[in-house]
Amino acid sequence: MTRTRIPVLPRGVRLHFDKVRGKNVLLAPERALFLDDIGHAILSEVDGQRSVAQIARHLAAVYNAPEDAIAGDITEFIDDLADKRVIGFTDA
């Protein structure tokens, strides 16, 4: 289901580079989620234009990795953030 949907960072959720800690962080209502490189790479592609599958295809090419495995990881990551309401979908 999620793979065909188009994720978007809703208002009040933004990526931020924390200069003091040298880490990427996702700032959201009452939350600051520190991101690893993979999480940051995924969220950097979330633009409200491309579906999860399209983002997976792009990252698979960039990292020279199997697309299906990448799509699974991204789906899991995005579903978790959607449950926390820090990511939305354009059709919701």
Partner 1 sequence: MRDAVQIPPPIALLAELTHRCPLACPYCSNPVDLTARQTELDTATWLDVFRQAVEMGVLQVHISGGEPASRRDLVDLVKGAREAGLYVNLITSGVGLTDARLAALDAAGVDHIQLSVQGVTAQMADWIGGYKGGFKRKMAVADKIAETGIPLTLNAVMHRHNLGDLPATIDLAKRLGARRLEVACVQFQGWALKNRGALQPTREQVDMAKKVVAQARADNRGTLVIDFVPPDYYSDFPKACMGGWGSTGLNVTPDGRVLPCHAAETIPSLSFQSVTEVPLADIWYKGAAFAAYRGTDWMAEECQTCDRRDVDFGGCRCQAMAVVGDAAATDPVCRKSPHRHLVDATLKAEAQGAERGTEQRPGDKDFTYRSFPEQV
The binding site for partner 1 (CB under 8 A) comprises 10-14, 16, 18, 20-21, 25, 27-30, 32, 82-85
Instruction: Decide whether 60 or 82 has the Cβ nearer to partner 1.
Output: 82
- Where residue 12 falls (left for φ over 0; alpha for ψ -120 to 50; beta otherwise) is left
Give me the least distance between CB of 13 and partner 1, in Å please. Answer: 8
Give me the least distance between CB of 46 and partner 1, in Å please. Answer: 16
CA dist list (Å): 29 to 11, 63, 91: 10, 32, 22
